[in-house]
C-alpha cells in the first residue's frame, strides 16, 4: 500500500508513475459506454408511479434521509427508482428556487461532465435562457447531438419530460409561483407565466423547448484552465453572465467523482470549477457518496473518488459559497452499487466574495 492508502497498480493511485497517471483518463475513454451507462441508470420511468412517489418525498423535510425508510414507505419502487427519484426531485427543487429568486428568467447554465444525459436540464429549461452542455468524451457529446437532432437512435427521454411536466403541475411551490406571475402588474411576468404553461402543456412541447435552449454541446475538461471550453466569445457563459448583471449557474451531476478516483485531484477539479463562478453565481452539484466505483454498462464499472458532504461543505465554505439547499441520502448497499448514498447541494457564491 502507498502513502495515500491505495494499493499499487490501482487506477487513480497517486503513487503510480506519471505515465500510469495518464491512464485514468484513458480508462474513462475506453471504459465509458454511453449506451451502457444510459441502460444502467436511465431506463424509461413509470410516470404515474414516480409522480405519486415524488408527492410523498416532497413532504419529507429531513436533511439526511435513509433510503431504507423511503423503501418502507414507497414499497412499490425499487432501489434504482428511489435513487432516480431523489435526483429528479433535487433538480426540480433547484429550478423552483431559482424561479422564485429570478422570476424574470433568462439564466444561463453551464453543465459540466454532462455525459450522455439530458434529464438534468429538464426542469431547469423552465428557468434558463440557454444551456451549454459540456462533456469530456466525444462519444457522450454525440449521444446528446443525436437526441437534439431527433435521431431514431437517440435515447428515449420522453417519460422524463412527462414526469417533470406532471410533477411540476402538481407541485404547490410551482403553482404559487405561476399564480404570482399571472397576477403580477409586470407584463413580462404575465408573458413568462404563459410561456411556462405552454412549455408544460405536453411532453412534446416541453422537449422541443429544451432543444431550443440547449444551445451548445461542447468539449469541456473540469481540470483544465477555463474548463477547456472553446474560446469563442460567449462560451464562457458564467463570466460573461456576470457582466450582464445576471446570476448564472453551473450544474454538475455525478461529474467530479466520475472524472477521477484520486481525492486530491477531485478537489482540484471541484475548486477549478468553483473558480469559474462569479460572485452572485450559483452551483448545483449531485455526487455519489463515499464511492469506490459506479456502473457504466452491463457488469462494467469505473472507479470514483470517495467523497462525502463534509468534503463539499469544507471547500464551499473556503471558496465563500453559502449553501442554499442540502440533502444527503444514506443507506445504500455499497457492496452492491459501489457507493453508500448521494449528496445534493445547491449553493451560491457570496455577492461580496473576493
Stretch that binds ligand SAM, among 101-109, 158-166, 219-227, 343-351 (CB under 6 A): 219-227
Could you say whether residue 221 binds ligand SAM (CB under 6 A)? yes
| All three cell numbers of 93 | 427543487
Q: Cα–Cα distance between 261 and 252 in angstroms, integer?
A: 17
Q: How far is the CB of 39 from ligand SAM (least distance, A)?
A: 12
Binding-site size, ligand SAM (CB under 6 A): 22
Cβ nearer to ligand SAM, comparing 136 with 282: 136
Could you say whether residue 12 binds ligand SAM (CB under 6 A)? no
Could you say whether residue 342 binds ligand SAM (CB under 6 A)? no
Q: How far is the CB of 139 from ligand SAM (least distance, A)?
A: 8
Helices (H), the chain: 18-31, 34-41, 47-59, 67-73, 79-101, 138-148, 158-170, 172-183, 187-199, 203-213, 237-243, 256-259, 263-274, 309-318, 334-337
Residue of the chain from 170, 184, 223, 300 that contacts ligand SAM (CB under 6 A): 223
For residue 246, the number of C-alpha atoms closer than 13 Å in the C-beta half-sphere is: 20
User: Shortest Cβ contact with ligand SAM: which residue?
Assistant: 115
234: left (phi over 0), alpha (psi -120 to 50) or beta: left
Could you say whether residue 255 binds ligand SAM (CB under 6 A)? yes
Residue of the chain from 114, 281, 303, 338 that contacts ligand SAM (CB under 6 A): 114
Q: How far is the CB of 26 from ligand SAM (least distance, A)?
A: 11
Cβ nearer to ligand SAM, comparing 178 with 305: 305
Please identify which residue in the block is written with the cell numbers 449553493.
347
Chain mean position to CA 100: 20
Cβ nearer to ligand SAM, comparing 112 with 283: 112
For the chain, what is the total number of helices (H) and then of strands (E)?
A: 15, 10
* DSSP-based three-state secondary structure for 286: strand
Residue 345 near residue 285, CB atoms below 8 Å: yes
* DSSP-based three-state secondary structure for 215: strand
Cβ nearer to ligand SAM, comparing 53 with 122: 122
Output DSSP code: residue 323. E
Cβ nearer to ligand SAM, comparing 225 with 245: 225
Could you say whether residue 324 binds ligand SAM (CB under 6 A)? no
Q: How far is the CB of 63 from ligand SAM (least distance, A)?
A: 22
Residue of the chain from 103, 113, 123, 281 that contacts ligand SAM (CB under 6 A): 113
Could you say whether residue 222 binds ligand SAM (CB under 6 A)? yes
Give the closest residue to 252 by CA, choosing from 135, 126, 339, 105.
Answer: 135
Cβ nearer to ligand SAM, comparing 103 with 303: 303
Amino acid at each position: 500500500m502507498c502513502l495515500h492508502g491505495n494499493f499499487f497498480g490501482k487506477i487513480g493511485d497517486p503513487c503510480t508513475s506519471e505515465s500510469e497517471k495518464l491512464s485514468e483518463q484513458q480508462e474513462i475513454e475506453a471504459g465509458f459506454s454511453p449506451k451502457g451507462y444510459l441502460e444502467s441508470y436511465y431506463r424509461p420511468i413509470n410516470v404515474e408511479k414516480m409522480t405519486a412517489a415524488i408527492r410523498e418525498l416532497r413532504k419529507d423535510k429531513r436533511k439526511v434521509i435513509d433510503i431504507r425508510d423511503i423503501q418502507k414507505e414507497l414499497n412499490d419502487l425499487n432501489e434504482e427508482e428511489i435513487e432516480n427519484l431523489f435526483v429528479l426531485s433535487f433538480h426540480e427543487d433547484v429550478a423552483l428556487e431559482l424561479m422564485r429568486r429570478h422570476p424574470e428568467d433568462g439564466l444561463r447554465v453551464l453543465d459540466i461532465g454532462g455525459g450522455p444525459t439530458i434529464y438534468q436540464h429538464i426542469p431547469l429549461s423552465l428557468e434558463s435562457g440557454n444551456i451549454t452542455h459540456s462533456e469530456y468524451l466525444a462519444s457522450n457529446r454525440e449521444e446528446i447531438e443525436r437526441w437534439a437532432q431527433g435521431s431514431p437512435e437517440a435515447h428515449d427521454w420522453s417519460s422524463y419530460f412527462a414526469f417533470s411536466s406532471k410533477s411540476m403541475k402538481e407541485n404547490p411551490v410551482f403553482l404559487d409561483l405561476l399564480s404570482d406571475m399571472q397576477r403580477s402588474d409586470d407584463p413580462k411576468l404575465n408573458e413568462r407565466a404563459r410561456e411556462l404553461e405552454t412549455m408544460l402543456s405536453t411532453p412534446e412541447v416541453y422537449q422541443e423547448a429544451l432543444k431550443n435552449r440547449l444551445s451548445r454541446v461542447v468539449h469541456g475538461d473540469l481540470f483544465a484552465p477555463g474548463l477547456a471550453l472553446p474560446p469563442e466569445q460567449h462560451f464562457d457563459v458564467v463570466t460573461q453572465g456576470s457582466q450582464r448583471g445576471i446570476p448564472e449557474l453551473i450544474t454538475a451531476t455525478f461529474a467530479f467523482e466520475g472524472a477521477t478516483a484520486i481525492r486530491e485531484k477531485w478537489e482540484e477539479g471541484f475548486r477549478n470549477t468553483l473558480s469559474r463562478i462569479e460572485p452572485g453565481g450559483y452551483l448545483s452539484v449531485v455526487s455519489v457518496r463515499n464511492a469506490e466505483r459506479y456502473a457504466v454498462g452491463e457488469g462494467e464499472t469505473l472507479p470514483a473518488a470517495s467523497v462525502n458532504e463534509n468534503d463539499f461543505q469544507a471547500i464551499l465554505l473556503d471558496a465563500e459559497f453559502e449553501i442554499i439547499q442540502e440533502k444527503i441520502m444514506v443507506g445504500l448497499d455499497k457492496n452492491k452499487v459501489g457507493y453508500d448514498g448521494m449528496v445534493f447541494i445547491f449553493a451560491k457564491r457570496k455577492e461580496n466574495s473576493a
